[in-house]
Amino acid sequence: MTEHVLIERRGAVQVIRMNRPEKKNAITSAMYAAMARALTDGDADPGVHCHVFLGVPGAFSAGNDLADFLAVATGGENSTDVWDFLIALASAAKPIISGVDGIAVGIGTTLNLHCDLTFATSRTVFRTPFVDLGLVPEAGSSLLVPKLMGRQRAFALLCLGEGFSATMAKDAGLIYEVVDEADLEAKVFAAAEQVAAKPVQALKISRDLLRGSPEEIVNRIREEGAHFRERLTSEEAHAALTAFMSRKKA
Ligand code: COA
């Protein structure tokens, strides 16, 4: 479907790797569609016990492709791929582990809210500049982040767009462990294999109990989505997106 997402099976672990290094793993519609499909296919496959999300060295993801956002801001069609992906992510039936190195912007941060374990390298910075782009939080983050880290840190992350180092992210409960760059993937795969080896039904019931019903999160994703789509056509968003896309020409 797209060469920018690589899907690999390692035993009972499905690895979903964002692979668009030349754009710091900015995510296009085709990439969202490929990742949503991987989650639903993996959930339907009894041979898959666990999903893993990875990026490339130095870039987990620079967030949504801003050229795609600008296209919508200037009257183009608003694809549903991102929202379909977010709903597949929030509703995924099997455990998800992520390994984050370097850039983790926008959805590169909020994706991890739906993971059961996240490992991040010490050079990782989590950042969500939604408001600076004239936009609003997505992926259920307006619900999940205040619950996770309290209103004040949530405001700093989601509204001020403050960068959170890996250590701050760990203190805030956003990630599980800070690891060395050289160890990241080995740690992620070891954890995934540990998860994949657990009794499947007992783990599923336990995880479902921990997470609660995805319905509240899915409803929030839809509510955020309505604001987000409206904001994409705002003057604030148009100005911010145009400034980013033309910054190197100046
Ligand atoms: N959408 C589209 N293209 C993006 C992108 C994005 N979100 N993030 C990076 N890119 C592109 C850049 O335009 C550049 O393309 P070019 O080489 O054709 O000019 C390439 O990726 C490399 O990015 P660059 O900015 O040169 O790398 P950097 O290491 O100096 O900075 C970032 C990396 C992520 C800090 C910076 O690119 C950035 O701020 N990106 C936007 C992040 C963002 O706002 N995402 C949306 C959140 S909702």
Q: What is the chain's pLDDT, residue by residue, as a tens digit (250 residues)?
A: 799 999 999 999 999 999 999 999 999 999 999 999 999 999 999 999 999 999 999 999 999 999 999 998 888 888 899 999 999 999 999 999 999 999 999 999 999 999 999 999 999 999 999 999 999 999 999 999 999 999 999 999 999 999 999 999 999 999 999 999 999 999 999 999 999 999 999 999 999 999 988 999 999 999 999 999 999 999 999 999 999 999 876 5
Task: Check if 62 has its Cβ closer than 6 Å to any atom of ligand 1.
Answer: yes
Ligand 1 center–CA 158 separation, angstroms: 19
| pLDDT recorded at residue 73 | 84
Q: What CATH number is given for 5-180 in this structure?
A: 3.90.226.10
Distance from the alpha carbon of residue 242 to the mean position of ligand 1, in angstroms: 13
The answer, yes or no, to whether any atom of ligand 1 lies below 6 A from the CB of 59, is no
Mutate to test the pocket of ligand 1, among 20, 23, 24, 138 (most ligand atoms within 8 A of CB): 24
In terms of DSSP bridges, do strands 5-10 and 177-179 run parallel, antiparallel, or are they unpaired?
unpaired
Closest ligand 1 atom to the C-alpha of 69?
1
Atom in ligand 1 nearest the alpha carbon of residue 108 = 47
Q: Hey, where are the domains in the chain?
A: 5-180
66 lines ligand 1 (CB under 6 A): yes
The CA-atom distances, in angstroms, between 50 and each of 4, 94, 118, 137 are 21, 6, 13, 27
H-helix or E-strand spanning residue 16: strand 13-18
What is the model's pLDDT at position 213? 87
Our CA angle for 165, 209, 215, nearest 5°, is 80
Within 13 Å and on the Cβ side, how many CA atoms surround 192? 29
Q: What's the 23 CA to ligand 1 centre distance in angstroms?
A: 6
> How many angstroms is it from 177 CA to the middle of ligand 1?
26
Q: Which atom of ligand 1 is nearest to the CA of 127?
A: 47
> What is the pLDDT at residue 10?
98
What is the predicted pLDDT for the residue at 74?
87
From residue 21, how far is each of 18, 26, 128 by CA, in Å? 8, 8, 20
**Beta strand 13-18 pairing with 5-10:** antiparallel
DSSP, res 234: S
Question: What is the model's pLDDT at position 250?
Answer: 54
Output the CA 186–ligand 1 centroid distance in Å. 27
